[in-house]
């Protein structure tokens, strides 16, 4: 059931992302953007372009260059695409709802070590790129995958360390529990009372309230995680492995047809995975700010529901729809953020990428862990 | 679940393959990979035996898994240093064949 | 046969076959490294079957995600397209290897003969990050410190080795 919903959402999302990307770039460059593909004159704002893309890619010749390692060349795009797709499995897109004794949880798989699953998948995803560049028997490809392997290993380390702060704050690795923990609010200056004693004026403690989201509890962690995961995805400004002005197309220079399409798609699927992950860990997941699940179910069930004669099931169903819509809105917002960053920032130089990772973000993430641990210990949340 | 003997047998088989790799291959990269394989074989045995004596309800014992973590760390160190040596060897000899590194041989 | 046992034999077979493929592949070092990845991931699967979830994840992350990628990186950096070093006549090594194979092969049927009791049920929390963390930072805290020192030494050593000229 949940897997079906997920499949539909993912299947619908990835092609639309290519359209969003084109339109976003057009907006930022003061162009109209993709609007030529049409069926009998109907263009639907250029939404037919993904369809045209698929037809074009499927009908192209699938070239394997001479001297290439045939088997590795053929399986590399699959190694790249599969981890991107299965990474969705642990991202919750809704809470747990009760329908007359039956419980529905909007997540496909919910292991205790959910976040580690993401890391595992991410580490396997490196191979698609690396193998593709090696198997192509092309110097540009080889350089591209050399860069990719170094970049992805380096940023994986910092990515892991940058979310440790969140693990400390939520005291869990389970993505559903993380989202659940953010479905509440906290007093921004509450720590002052704990640390220094005394009481704050009522207007401070009453109104300085924020949703208990990761982005407010771990602002530095959020920035570093966003940077690292964008570097893992190898999109601009971190597209050194495929930088077209230096390396033709980097590791997928020698790919054509749908095999190229798989690399292309896996990148866009990863954009959605990243958006889902950031939403879940840092932006409260499915939670509506200031309105907790209990509150919504209670108000709708006992207020409107009781008035109109609906049962608890109605309240839960309504809450489910609201949460799902909230999750989608947040995911789209993060996707938009990634697109905007991609079309705003110029590409880094390679030594800058490495320096940013090892000399700036790694020490910062360690400091972040230390400070977070100290605060958690002191405040005893 | 399978009996613990099968886990140990797997561990022994992997270890033997690793030893064989070190003995018959002359490529330093493959030799390092074979050493990784041997360390992994040890890990399989450690995890298997830890599962055999998992402690009591409320107080799980994870000593074997702690050792596995240490082995993984040591393996990572070994690879970092080993590959560093390999690269400097390639710079000096233009080869990764360990039979060509025989200056200190008696 | 229950599903976990079937999975165990599948993973064990995969691990052994790909390990053999790694050792015996004398033409292509990258393919050998990819076989090693299959071995590592299969061993990770076996760890999951043995209820060591966290270690399984770390196994795949560290071995699959970092160590083998490092091997591939070096192979690509040195651009070792072929690998044709013939195994030379190391009489002593061959003798030792043969002896080991004989010992192990003769021990395996004995091992399969049922020396140990059945595997007991695991207590709750076994293999989770909580129990492992408590073990690491209470009983084994000295070990952690020593290993982190070792890591530091390895980092410094690798840096010095990889430098072209020490200034």
pLDDT, residue C149, reads: 92
pLDDT band for position A178 (cuts 50, 70, 90): confident
Q: Is residue B105 part of a domain?
A: no
- Does residue A381 register a pLDDT over 60? no
Look at chain A and report how many structural domains it folds into: 1
Q: Is residue C106 part of a domain?
A: no
The secondary element (H helix, E strand) that includes residue C68 is helix C68-78
Residue appearing with tokens 């920032």: A345
Mean pLDDT of A271-284: 85
Mean pLDDT score of chain A: 79
- Does residue A174 register a pLDDT over 70? yes
β-bridge partners, A102:
A99
Look at chain B and report how many structural domains it folds into: 1
| List of residues 6+ apart from C34 with CB closer than 8 A | A72, A127, A131
- Which phi and psi (to 5°) does residue B59 adopt? -140, 70
Q: Are residues C3 and C77 in the same domain?
A: yes
Q: Is residue B27 part of a domain?
A: yes
Mean pLDDT score of chain C: 80
Q: Is residue C110 part of a domain?
A: no
Q: Is residue A33 part of a domain?
A: no
Q: Structural domain of residue B19, as residue ranges?
A: 4-96
Look at chain C and report how many structural domains it folds into: 2
Q: Is residue B53 part of a domain?
A: yes
Q: Is residue A30 part of a domain?
A: no
pLDDT tens figures, A115-144: 888 888 888 888 888 888 888 878 888 888
Q: Is residue C122 part of a domain?
A: no
Among C22, C71, C74, which residue's Cα sits nearest to residue C43? C22
Q: Is residue C87 part of a domain?
A: no
Is the Cβ pair C51, B54 closer than 8 Å? Answer: yes
Question: Number of helices (H) and strands (E), helices first, in chain C?
Answer: 7, 0
pLDDT tens figures, B37-48: 999 999 998 988
Q: Is residue C152 part of a domain?
A: yes
pLDDT tens figures, A228-241: 888 888 887 888 77
Among A339, A332, A222, which residue's Cα sits nearest to residue A276? A332
pLDDT band for position A197 (cuts 50, 70, 90): low
- Does residue A152 register a pLDDT over 60? yes
pLDDT band for position B52 (cuts 50, 70, 90): confident
Q: Structural domain of residue C74, as residue ranges?
A: 1-82
Q: What residues in A contact C30, CB-CB < 8 Å?
A: 69, 72, 131, 134-135
User: What Rg do the C-alpha atoms of chain B give, in angstroms?
Assistant: 18
If contacts are CB pairs under 8 Å, which of residues 138-157 in chain A contact chain C?
A: 142, 145-146, 149-150, 152-153, 156
pLDDT, residue C71, reads: 87
Q: Are residues C71 and C10 in the same domain?
A: yes
Q: Structural domain of residue A191, as residue ranges?
A: 60-379
DSSP H helices in chain A: 2-28, 49-59, 70-86, 114-135, 139-170, 175-181, 190-196, 202-207, 214-217, 219-233, 244-247, 257-282, 293-298, 306-308, 312-344, 350-355, 362-379
A171 and chain C: CB distance < 8 Å anywhere?
no
Among A155, A352, A356, A150, which residue's Cα sits nearest to residue A251? A150
C142 and chain A: CB distance < 8 Å anywhere?
no
- Is 0.90 surpassed by the pTM of this model? no
**B30, C22 Cβ separation under 8 angstroms:** yes
Instruction: Write the CATH number for C11.
Output: 1.20.120.1200
Instruction: Write the CATH number for B19.
Output: 1.10.287.3510
If contacts are CB pairs under 8 Å, which of residues 41-70 in chain C contact chain A?
A: 41, 44, 53-54, 57-58, 60-61, 64-66, 69-70
pLDDT band for position A50 (cuts 50, 70, 90): confident
What CA–CA distance (Å, rounded) separates A172 from A200? 31
Q: Is residue A183 part of a domain?
A: yes
**A347, A142 Cβ separation under 8 angstroms:** no
Q: Is residue C89 part of a domain?
A: no
Is the Cβ pair B72, C59 closer than 8 Å? Answer: yes
Among A159, A206, A212, which residue's Cα sits nearest to residue A185? A212
Tell me which long-range contacts A6-12 makes (C-beta under 8 A, separation of at least 24): A6/A88, A6/A93, A6/A108, A9/A93, A10/A85, A10/A88, A10/A269, A10/A272
Among A304, A292, A328, A301, which residue's Cα sits nearest to residue A106? A328
Q: What is the pLDDT along chain C (167 residues), one digit of tens a residue?
A: 688 888 888 888 888 889 888 887 777 788 888 888 889 889 988 988 888 888 888 888 888 888 888 888 888 888 776 655 665 556 676 777 777 777 777 776 666 666 677 777 777 777 778 888 888 888 888 988 999 999 999 988 888 887 766 55
Tokens encoding B5: 């003997």
User: What Rg do the C-alpha atoms of chain C give, in angstroms?
Assistant: 20
The secondary element (H helix, E strand) that includes residue C53 is helix C53-59
pLDDT, residue A308, reads: 62
Q: Is residue A247 part of a domain?
A: yes
Q: Is residue A5 part of a domain?
A: no
Q: Is residue C15 part of a domain?
A: yes
Q: Are residues C13 and C78 in the same domain?
A: yes
Q: What residues in C contact B79, CB-CB < 8 Å?
A: 67, 70-71
Q: Is residue A4 part of a domain?
A: no
pLDDT, residue C88, reads: 58
Q: Which residue of C has its CA nearest to B59?
A: C123
What CA–CA distance (Å, rounded) separates A92 from A57? 32
Q: Is residue C93 part of a domain?
A: no
What CA–CA distance (Å, rounded) separates A297 from A97? 10
pLDDT band for position A305 (cuts 50, 70, 90): low
């Amino acid at each position: 059931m949940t897997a079906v919903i997920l499949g539909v959402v993912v299947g619908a999302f990835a092609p639309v992302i290519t359209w969003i990307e084109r339109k976003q770039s057009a907006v930022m460059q003061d162009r109209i953007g993709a609007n030529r593909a049409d069926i009998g004159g109907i263009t639907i704002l250029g939404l037919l372009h993904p369809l045209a893309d698929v037809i074009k890619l499927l009908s192209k010749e699938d070239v394997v260059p001479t001297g290439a390692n045939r088997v590795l060349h053929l399986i590399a795009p699959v190694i790249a695409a599969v981890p991107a797709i299965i990474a969705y499995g642990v991202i919750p897109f809704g809470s747990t709802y009760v329908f007359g004794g039956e419980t529905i949880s909007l997540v496909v798989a919910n292991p205790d070590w959910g976040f580690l699953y993401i890391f595992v998948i991410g580490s396997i995803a490196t191979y698609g790129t690396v193998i593709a560049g090696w198997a192509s028997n092309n110097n540009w490809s080889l350089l591209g995958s050399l860069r990719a392997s170094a970049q992805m290993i380096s940023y994986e380390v910092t990515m892991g360390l940058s979310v440790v702060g969140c693990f400390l704050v939520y005291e869990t690795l389970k993505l559903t529990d993380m989202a659940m923990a953010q479905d509440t609010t906290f007093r921004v200056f509450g720590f002052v009372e704990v640390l220094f004693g005394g009481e704050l004026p009522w207007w401070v403690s009453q109104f300085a309230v924020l949703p208990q989201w990761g982005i407010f509890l771990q602002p530095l962690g959020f920035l570093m995680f966003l940077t690292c995961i964008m570097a893992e995805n190898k999109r601009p400004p971190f597209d050194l492995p495929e930088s077209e002005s230096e390396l033709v197309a980097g590791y997928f220079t020698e790919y054509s047809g749908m095999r190229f399409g798989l690399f292309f798609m896996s990148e866009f699927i990863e954009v959605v995975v990243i958006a889902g992950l950031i939403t879940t860990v840092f932006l409260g997941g499915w939670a509506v700010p200031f309105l907790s699940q209990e509150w919504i179910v209670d108000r709708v069930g006992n207020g409107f529901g009781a008035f109109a004669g609906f049962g608890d099931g109605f309240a839960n169903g309504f809450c489910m729809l609201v949460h799902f819509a909230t999750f989608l809105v947040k995911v789209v917002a993060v996707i938009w953020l990634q697109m905007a960053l991609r079309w705003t920032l110029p590409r880094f130089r390679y030594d800058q990428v490495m320096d940013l990772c090892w000399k700036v973000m790694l020490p910062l993430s360690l400091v972040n862990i230390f400070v977070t641990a100290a605060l958690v210990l002191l405040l005893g949340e | 679940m399978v009996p613990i003997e099968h886990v140990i047998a797997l561990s022994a088989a992997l270890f033997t393959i690793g030893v064989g790799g070190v003995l018959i291959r002359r490529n330093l990269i493959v030799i390092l990979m074979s050493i990784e394989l041997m360390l992994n074989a040890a890990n399989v045995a450690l995890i298997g035996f830890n599962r055999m004596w998992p402690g009591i309800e409320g107080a799980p014992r994870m000593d074997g898994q702690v050792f596995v973590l240490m082995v993984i760390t040591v393996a990572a160190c070994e690879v970092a240093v080993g590959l560093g040596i390999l690269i400097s060897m390639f710079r000096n000899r233009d080869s990764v064949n360990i039979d060509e590194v025989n200056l200190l041989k008696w | 046969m229950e599903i976990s046992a079937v999975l165990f034999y599948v993973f064990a077979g995969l691990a052994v076959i790909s390990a053999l493929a790694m050792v015996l592949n004398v033409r292509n070092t990258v393919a050998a490294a990819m076989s090693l990845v299959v071995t590592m991931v299969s061993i990770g699967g076996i760890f999951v079957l043995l209820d060591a979830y966290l270690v399984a994840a770390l196994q795949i992350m560290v071995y699959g995600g970092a160590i083998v990628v490092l091997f591939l990186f070096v192979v690509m950096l040195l651009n070792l397209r072929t690998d044709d070093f013939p195994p030379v006549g190391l009489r002593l090594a061959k003798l030792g290897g043969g002896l080991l194979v004989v010992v192990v092969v003769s021990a395996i049927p004995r091992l399969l003969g049922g020396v140990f009791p059945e595997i007991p049920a695991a207590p709750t929390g076994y293999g989770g990050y909580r129990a492992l963390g408590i073990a690491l930072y209470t009983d084994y805290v000295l070990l952690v410190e020593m290993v982190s020192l070792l890591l530091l030494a390895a980092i410094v050593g690798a840096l010095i080795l990889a430098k072209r000229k020490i200034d």
